[in-house]
């Protein structure tokens, strides 16, 4: 057969397509072998609030239920320590790593190190910078809440229930973390569509109760007319209540407090009238996290994003749902 120019073109196109296939295959996240039982890592970011404790308890209970060995580390609020924790899991030869990346960028090297060691990573609860790492290639998937939607839901509640309270202080979560970035974006974008509302200050309280209290105190002094505080988590909302009271004001009456997380203490504060509304951020990861690992080992296609459903609490349902809050 005479090889025509057309043949050459076709075969080089086929070769190029094959090359793309090969490079995509080699870019896939490391596989997980099918086994009876696994040794998996869970790299927690910190343990300073009920949300984290509930998440850890859910992971530990699930590991125990299945008879899997869980290598647990707590980065104590340090992204650098969390990178070291992941490296130590790699050295211990775990089969898979569940990682709750404290911030969006600093944990990228840890994900790449695990990939280099052929250990799959499943991101739990916090995401990483999507321009630097990709689901299905660098890590298997992200399991967690839609933080943008959480911020939107609380903003929409405020718009519908503000009763003239329109001057807002925002307490942001940990700088550079995906929930802080996205809860801010979701909330601020909705508020921007309603010009009668104004965010007069927005500052980080690092998702922590006492930091939240201190920042709220300073911001209430600078903006004595503020009558709404939106906190990116319960801990800072509870700190903000103390700041409001220290300023001689009544939480729930003079200043509306809005929160995200929905732990029992916060839902009780909704019942008590001190917190106006809370979007739950579901911390019960265990069953879904372990099921996803098994599905991955079975060769099932794993979606890039696996979203947890979140409850919403305000005065209309908090008493009734209190016993179901974590
Ligand atoms: O809201 C907060 C925690 O990443 C979704 O981190 C989580 C957040 C949660 O410390 O309380």
Closest-lying ligand 1 atom to the alpha carbon of residue 45: 10
Q: Which of 75, 207, 208, 259 to mutate to test the pocket of ligand 1 (most atoms within 8 A of CB)?
A: 207
Q: Residue 25's closest CA among 137, 135, 133, 116?
A: 137
Q: Which CATH superfamily is domain 147-281 in?
A: Response regulator (3.40.50.2300)
Greatest alpha-carbon span in the chain: 93
Q: What is the token pair recorded at 75?
A: 């980065």
Decide whether any atom of ligand 1 lies within 6 Å of the 141 Cβ. Answer: no
Q: Report pTM.
A: 0.90
| Domains in the chain: boundaries | 7-144+284-307, 147-281
Do the domains 7-144+284-307 and 147-281 sit in the same CATH topology, yes or no?
A: yes
CB 265 within 8 A of CB 235: no
Top mutation candidate among 49, 55, 212 for ligand 1, by most atoms within 8 Å of CB: 49
- Our CA dihedral for 230, 233, 239, 243, rounded to 10 degrees, sits at -10
Structure tokens at 220: 């209430």
Any atom of ligand 1 within 6 Å of the Cβ of 281: yes
48 burial class (0-12, 13-18, 19+ CB within 10 angstroms)? middle
Structure tokens that stand for 212 in this block? 């939240």
> pLDDT tens digits, the chain, 326 residues: what are they?
334 444 434 444 444 444 444 443 447 999 999 999 999 999 999 999 999 999 999 999 999 999 999 999 999 999 999 999 999 999 999 999 999 999 999 999 999 999 999 999 999 999 999 999 999 999 999 999 999 999 999 999 999 999 999 999 999 999 999 999 999 999 999 999 999 999 999 999 999 999 999 999 999 999 999 999 999 999 999 999 999 999 999 999 999 999 999 999 999 999 999 999 999 999 999 999 999 999 999 999 999 999 998 999 999 999 999 999 99
Cβ neighbourhood burial of 112 (10 Å; 0-12, 13-18, 19+): middle
Taking 3-state DSSP, the helix, strand and coil percentages for the chain, each rounded to the nearest 5, stand at 45, 20, 35
Give 7-144+284-307's CATH code, choosing from 3.40.50.12280, 3.30.479.30, 3.40.190.10, 3.40.50.2300.
3.40.50.2300
């Amino acid at each position: 057969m005479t090889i025509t120019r057309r043949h050459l073109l076709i075969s080089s196109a086929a070769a190029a397509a094959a090359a793309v296939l090969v490079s995509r295959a080699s870019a896939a996240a490391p596989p997980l072998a099918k086994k009876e039982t696994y040794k998996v890592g869970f790299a927690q970011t910190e343990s300073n609030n009920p949300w984290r404790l509930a998440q850890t308890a859910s992971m530990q209970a699930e590991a125990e239920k299945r008879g899997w060995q869980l290598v647990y580390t707590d980065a104590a609020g340090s992204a650098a320590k969390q990178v070291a924790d992941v490296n130590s899991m790699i050295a211990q030869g775990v089969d898979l790593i569940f990682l709750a990346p404290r911030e969006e960028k600093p944990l990228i090297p840890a994900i790449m190190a695990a990939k280099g060691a052929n250990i799959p990573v499943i991101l739990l609860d916090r995401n990483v910078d999507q321009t630097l790492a990709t689901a299905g290639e660098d890590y298997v998937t992200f399991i967690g809440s839609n933080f943008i939607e959480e911020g939107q839901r609380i903003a929409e509640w405020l718009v519908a229930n503000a009763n003239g309270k329109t001057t807002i202080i925002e307490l942001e979560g940990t700088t550079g973390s995906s929930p802080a970035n996205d809860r801010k974006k979701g909330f601020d974008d909705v508020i921007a569509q309603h010009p009668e509302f104004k965010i007069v200050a927005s500052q980080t309280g690092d998702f922590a109760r006492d930091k939240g209290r201190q920042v709220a105190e300073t911001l209430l002094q600078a903006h004595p007319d503020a009558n709404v505080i939106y906190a990116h988590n319960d801990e800072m909302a509870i700190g903000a209540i103390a700041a409001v009271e220290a300023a001689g004001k009544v939480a729930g009456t003079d200043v509306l407090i809005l929160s995200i997380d929905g732990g029992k203490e916060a839902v009780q504060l909704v019942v008590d009238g001190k917190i106006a509304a809370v979007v739950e951020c579901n911390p019960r990861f265990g069953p879904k996290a372990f099921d996803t690992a098994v599905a991955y080992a079975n060769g099932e296609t794993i979606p890039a994003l696996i979203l947890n459903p979140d409850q919403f609490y305000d005065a209309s349902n908090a008493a009734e749902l209190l016993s179901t809050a974590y």
